[in-house]
Amino acid sequence: MQTAKTNLDYTSLELLRQTHPAWRLLCSPHAALVASFLNRIFIVPNVRTMAQSNLVESLEDELFALREYLGAEAFPKLARDYLNDWAQPERGWLRKFYRQDSDEPYFDLTPATEKAISWLESLSARSFVGTESRLLTLFELLKQMSQGSETDPQLRIAELRKRRDEIDTEIARVLSGDIPLLNATALKDRFQQFTQLARDLLTDFREVEQNFRVLDRRVRERIAQWDSGKGSLLEQIMGERDAITDSDQGLSFRAFWDFLMSSQRQEELSTLLERVLALPPVAALHPDARLYRVHYDWLEAGEHTQRTVANLSKQLRRFLDDQAWLENRRIMDILHDIEKKALALRDSAPETEIMYIADTSASINLPLERPLHTPTAKPRIENIALTAGDSEVDTNALFSQVVIDKSQLIHHIQHILQDRVQVTLRETCELRPLQHGLAELVTYLQLGDVGFKTMIDETITDTIIWQSSDKTGQAWAKQAQLPRVIFVR
C-alpha cells in the first residue's frame, strides 16, 4: 500500500490535532506518565502483548512511586481505570482485545503511540550529530536504484568491471600494508545510524501488523453483513487479501522475513553485532544491552505479524463452517416439513396420487457374498506341575532401572530460552551433558509443546557425544548423529 504525502496546511493539521492519537497523547496532561510507562513496559523490552493482570500490577507500582514523590493526591484513579481509559477509541493509545484461548483481556501498543514516544525520544540531546554516514547511505541507495533499474547489458557490465577494479585496487593496498580504517568519529556516526534504523524497524512492524488487522476487521464486517452467494464473497475476500500480500508493503515484508529466517543470516548478524559492540569507540557510547539480540527482536515482531495474517485464514474457515451448518439445517427443516405433511395425510388419504417414485429397483444379495464362518480359536493349556526355582536370585536388577525425569529436562530448556529465542539439542546437551546416555537423549525427542516448540531441520546433521561406562567402571565416549532439533520459545 502506498502512503500519500500529508499536506501541512491549516485544515490538515487541525484535522490531525482532533483525530490522531499521537497528537492527543502529546496534548494530554498525563503525557509524561503514559509515555514513560508504556515505553518502559512495551518498547524497551520489545513486548508485543501483555495480560491485563500483569499490566495493572506494573502500573500500580508506577503510580505508588509517583504518589510517594508528588503527593497522595496525584493520579487518584485506579490502575485498571487508567488502562481502560487509554484504550478508549477517543484516546487510541492502547489496543484492548481478547485472545481465543483466554477470558482475560490483553493490551498492545498502537502504532500512533509508538510514533509519539519515538518523537519524544528524538528530542533528547545526542552526543553529536553525524552526517557522513547518512550521506553515504543516501548515495549508496541512489546507486542501487540506478544500477538495479539499468536494462542495457553493456552499461551493467561496465559498472561491474569498475567495481571489480576498485576491489582489486583495495586488495593491492591491503597487501602492501596500507589498511584504511574508520576513525572513532566515523564509527560512532555509523553506530548511531544503525541504532536508529533498528529501532525504526521495530516501530514499522506494529504499523504493518495494524494494517493487516484492519483488513481482518473489514473481512469480519463484510461476512456479518453478506446475504448473497458464498462464492462471490470468497472471491472478493481472497482478491483483497492477495492485493495486500502483493502490495509494496507485503512484498517488502515477505523479502525481509525470508532474509531473517535464514539461520546463516542470523549467525552472521550475531557475529557482526558482537564484533561491532566490542569496538572501543562503540563501547564508549554505552549501547543498550538489547542490541546484542536485536535481530531476535525483529524475529519475534515478525511472528506476531505472521499470526495476524493466519487469523484471516481462520476467519474464512469459520465462515465456511457456519455456512455449511446453515445449509444442513435448511435440509433438516425440509425433511421435517415432509414428515409433518405425511402425518397429516395418514388418517385421510387422498383419492389421487400425490407422489411419484421413478426407477425403483430391488436390492439383490447373493449367497456367495456372505463371509464364511470362522471358528474362534481357543488356547490349549497344559496341566503340568510347577517346579521350585532357585531362591538365590540377584535382586539388584530390580533397582538398577533408569528413570528419566522429564520435568528436569523441560526446566533446563526453559531456563536456556529465557535469554534466547531458540536453542539446538546439541547446544542443550553441551550446556548440561547427558547423564543417562541414549535414554535421556530419546526423552528429549519426546518432549511436546510444554512452553516451547520443537522444530527439526533435516538439512543439517548434529553429532551428540556423551560419556558412558561399563560394568568394570571404564569410561567410553559414545555419539549419535541425528537431524538438527531446535527448541523455539
Q: What is the pLDDT of residue 85?
A: 93
What are 439-483's pLDDT values in tens digits?
888 888 888 666 788 888 888 888 888 887 766 667 778 888 889
Q: Report how far residue 333's alpha carbon sits from residue 339's, in angstroms, rounded to the nearest whole number.
A: 10
- What letter would DSSP give residue 3? P
Contact (CB, 8 A) for 456 and 485: yes
3-state DSSP helix/strand/coil % of the chain, to nearest 5: 60, 10, 30
Say if CB 111 and CB 203 are below 8 A apart.
yes
Q: How far is the C-alpha of 278 from the C-alpha of 280, rounded, in Å?
A: 6
The low-confidence residues of the chain, meaning pLDDT below 50, are 1-4
Kindly report the backbone phi and psi dihedral angles of residue 484, in degrees, each rounded to the nearest multiple of 5, phi listed first.
-65, 125
pLDDT reported for residue 25? 92
C-alpha grid cell for residue 280? 572501543
pLDDT for residue 57: 93
Instruction: Evaluate if pTM is beyond 0.95.
Output: no
Q: What is the reported pLDDT for 61? A: 92
**Amino acid 488: pLDDT:** 87
pLDDT digits (tens, 9 = 90+) for 323-366: 566 667 777 778 778 777 777 777 776 777 766 666 666 777 78
Separation CA 382–CA 361 (nearest Å): 57
Predicted local distance difference test score (pLDDT) of residue 4: 45
- Return the pLDDT at 363: 74
Task: Tell me what pLDDT residue 3 has.
Answer: 44
Residues 6+ apart with CB under 8 A from 287: 191, 195, 277
d(CA 203, CA 22): 14
Cα–Cα dist 456/485, whole Å: 5
In contact, 420 and 413? CB cutoff 8 Å: no
Q: For position 54, what pLDDT does the model report?
A: 92
What are residue 109's DSSP bridge partners? 94
- Report CA-CA distances (Å) from 85 to 5, 22, 51, 59, 96: 31, 15, 16, 13, 11
pLDDT at 311: 67
What would the grid cell of residue 68 be?
510517594
